Amino acid sequence: MPIFRDVLVRLSESGTLRRVATHAPGARTMARRFVAGETVEDGIAAARELNAAGIRVTLDNLGESVGTRDEARAAADTYLAMIRRIVEEKLDANVSLKLTQMGHDIDEAFMRDNVGRVLDLAREHDMFVRLDMESSAYTQRTLDFFRKLWDEGYRNVGIVLQSYLKRTAEDARVANERGARVRLCKGAYVEPPEVAYQEKSRVDENFVGVTRTLLEAGTFPGIATHDPAMIEATKRIAHERGIRKDAFEFQMLYGIRRDLQAELVRDGWGLRVYVPFGDAWYPYLMRRMAERPANLFFIVNAVLRESPLRFLMSNGKR
């Protein structure tokens, strides 16, 4: 299974396959299970629906590693539009962004200006902004930039930590000391054994350990998982330590394990769903397949249901 996962992650990085997939008939329709759409309004509509079901939302404009200043400025402008629409709709929602989409690989001062525009508008409306974590090549750079923002007085910003990285336990401890909000997930990039655990058991073990650290001493952590075992471990820690249900939240991805999402809400646990939108949906979708192979089977089934071959095969059986 790790080899299968690595292949999917590699495919997510293929520009050729991305071009093929995004122009394939029905591809966008299939992606809509996991991606709200391609516009801000699509994301807002999904957030509105989730809020009605008692679920908080994080909106994310898909995209990373932009190559030009115009692209980075446009991405920041999209986030400003998202924040204004969230405020207008009075939604229980915040936003999440990637630093490479803001120009991290172009110029850090330029990137800081773009992120600053987003943070300033969000702060005016008492809104939280999450800095997404990318591959391990960006981990330290992202944390360093976060620390600079924190030292400048921004308190409406938080980070993401990944349990497959060996450094994460210490990063969580440092974040707790600052009072920073952390989203903990397992991680979705192919990483070398020098920096990341390769065995699922070790990733899970670290996830549970860091979850304990965040629940016991963190600031409203987000425990991001679709794994029932990790969910149960989190509940058990909360029960053992007397941690209230409103002291943290579970986080899940749009369209994935909607049965578990409904169950958590029904049982009174806080839940936030990460709602992505935008035309850069191909790499996002491939990483979701890598994280949970069952997602791939869902997509394949959807393809078969829409394929003309289905009707030919059906006619042949009559």
Of these residues, 60, 132, 171, 204, which one is catalytic? Answer: 132
- pLDDT band, residue 69 (cuts 50/70/90): very high
What average pLDDT does this structure show over 140-163?
Answer: 98
Tell me the torsion sign for CA atoms 253, 259, 260, 261.
Answer: positive
- pLDDT band, residue 280 (cuts 50/70/90): confident
List of domains in the chain: 36-277 (3.20.20.220)
pLDDT single digits (tens) 109-132: 999 999 999 999 999 999 999 999
Residue 171 annotated in active site: no
One-letter amino acid for residue 257 of the chain: R
CB of 161 closer than 8 Å to CB of 139: no
Q: Rounded CA gap, 231 and 125, in Å?
A: 32
Q: Rounded CA gap, 234 and 223, in Å?
A: 8
Residue 183 annotated in active site: yes
pLDDT single digits (tens) 97-114: 999 999 999 999 999 999
Q: Rounded CA gap, 73 and 254, in Å?
A: 26
Of these residues, 5, 112, 183, 288, which one is catalytic? Answer: 183
pTM, rounded to two decimals: 0.84
What average pLDDT does this structure show over 54-61?
Answer: 98
Q: Over pLDDT 90: what percentage of the chain?
A: 73
CB of 48 closer than 8 Å to CB of 91: yes
Token pair for residue 52? Answer: 């009605």
